């Protein structure tokens, strides 16, 4: 699989940041027992990974804009292109020594995502896609699941934590969805949830109140794997609203009906 020059830059950057995070992740397990706690260490790991990504991506494409979790937003000389980056999606998992977290990089051109990379460094799974070129995991072409019955399907979501206001809505979603499906998973990394839909590991995924960097790469990876991806309000932009629903095509209509209530 030979991608464009931009995609190759993204994959190289994700690998480099991933290597740094894997080293730090091994440390986290030792820190769990210390009184000082691992929180500060993980924040430093996150910031270090973002610096690697910024050096690599902006070094290769200095005119592009930049939007990232830690560093905020910087317009570029080229107003039509920007990198949208999450150096560590699944921070809480990372902090607890759970090997389910990822580096996420998207390239936006004229308001549309044209390339995306989600790298699960702990498992060495590189999910990537580019407009018109399909979706891939390492060397393998990905397709969404072929299941077409809700009752045989599993879905993923994020559950609101720490008193977030969208808890009642999510509980209503679950009350409607759980009787109709084979199970719901909450694995704690939105970028990987979307990559897993693309890989056919889940049939669908939905979540509210996400940030652009949580979902940007996943959008193109799902679409290029043959899936459908919309805002919870079908008219709204996923990136701007932070609400997303995606699945394979056969169950999208039924799944969306359940979630949209």
For CA atoms 51, 52, 56, 59, the dihedral sign is positive
> Is 86 marked within a binding site?
yes
| CATH number for the domain that contains residue 64 | 3.30.540.10
Q: Give the model confidence (pLDDT) of 18-77 as tens digits.
A: 999 999 999 887 776 555 567 888 898 999 999 999 999 999 999 999 999 878 899 999
Is 93 in the same domain as 216?
Answer: no
CA 41 – CA 166 distance, rounded (Å): 30
Total domain count, the chain: 2
Mean pLDDT of 69-86: 93
Question: Which among 120, 142, 164 is the end of a domain?
Answer: 142
- Two tokens, residue 211: 């940030």
The HSE-up count of residue 108 (CA atoms within 13 Å, CB side) is 22
Strand partners, 120: 125
CATH number for position 188: 3.40.190.80
131 & 9 share domain: yes
- For residue 161, what pLDDT is reported? 87
> Taking the model in full, what pTM does it have?
0.95
CA atoms within 13 A on the CB side of 15: 9
Query: What is the per-residue pLDDT across 99-116, written as a single tens digit (0 to 9) for each?
Result: 999 999 999 999 999 999
**CA-to-CA distance for 179 and 173, rounded, in angstroms?**
11
Residues 6+ apart with CB under 8 A from 251: 147, 148, 149, 150, 153, 203, 204
SS3 of 221, please? helix
233 is in an annotated binding site: no
Residues spanned by the domain of 203: 150-260
Of 189, 83, 69, 184, nearest in space to 127 by CA: 189
Which two tokens mark 8?
């190759």
pLDDT of residue 1: 57
Give dist(CA 38, CA 134) in Å, integer: 39
Share of the chain above pLDDT 90, in %: 86
* 124 annotated as a binding-site residue: no
Annotated ligand binding at 167? The verdict is no
Using the 3D structure, point to which of 142, 177, 200 is the last residue of a domain. Answer: 142
Which residues are 183's β-sheet partners? 154
Question: Residues 214, 192: one domain?
Answer: yes
Q: Which three-class secondary structure state does DSSP give residue 228?
A: strand
Mean pLDDT of 136-147: 98
Query: Is 214 labelled as part of a ligand binding site?
Result: yes
CA distances from 259 to 15, 157, 177, 249 (A): 35, 11, 7, 15
Mark which of 126, 142, 158 sits at the end of a domain: 142
């Amino acid at each position: 699989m030979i991608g464009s020059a931009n995609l190759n830059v993204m994959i190289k950057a994700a690998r480099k940041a991933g290597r740094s995070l894997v080293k730090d992740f091994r440390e986290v397990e030792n820190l769990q027992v210390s009184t000082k706690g691992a929180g500060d260490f993980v924040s430093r790991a996150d910031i270090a990974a973002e610096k690697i990504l910024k050096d690599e991506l902006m070094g290769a494409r200095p005119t592009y804009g930049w939007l990232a979790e830690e560093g905020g937003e910087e317009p570029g000389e080229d107003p039509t292109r920007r990198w949208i980056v999450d150096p560590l999606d699944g921070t809480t998992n990372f902090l607890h020594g759970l090997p389910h977290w990822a580096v996420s990089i998207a390239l936006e051109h004229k308001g549309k995502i044209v390339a995306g990379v989600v790298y699960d460094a702990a498992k060495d799974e590189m999910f990537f896609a580019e407009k018109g070129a399909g979706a891939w995991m390492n060397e393998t072409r990905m397709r969404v699941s072929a299941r077409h019955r809700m009752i045989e399907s599993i879905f993923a979501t994020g559950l609101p934590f720490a008193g977030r206001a969208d808890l009642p809505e999510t509980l209503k979603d679950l009350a409607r969805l759980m009787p109709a499906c084979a199970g719901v998973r909450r694995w704690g990394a939105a970028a990987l949830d979307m990559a897993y839909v693309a890989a056919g590991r889940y049939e669908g995924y939905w979540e509210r109140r996400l940030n652009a960097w949580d979902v940007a790469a996943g959008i193109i990876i799902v679409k290029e794997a043959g899936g459908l991806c919309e805002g919870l309000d079908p008219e709204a932009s996923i990136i701007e609203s932070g609400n997303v629903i995606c699945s394979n095509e056969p169950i999208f209509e039924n799944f969306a009906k359940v979630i949209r209530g």
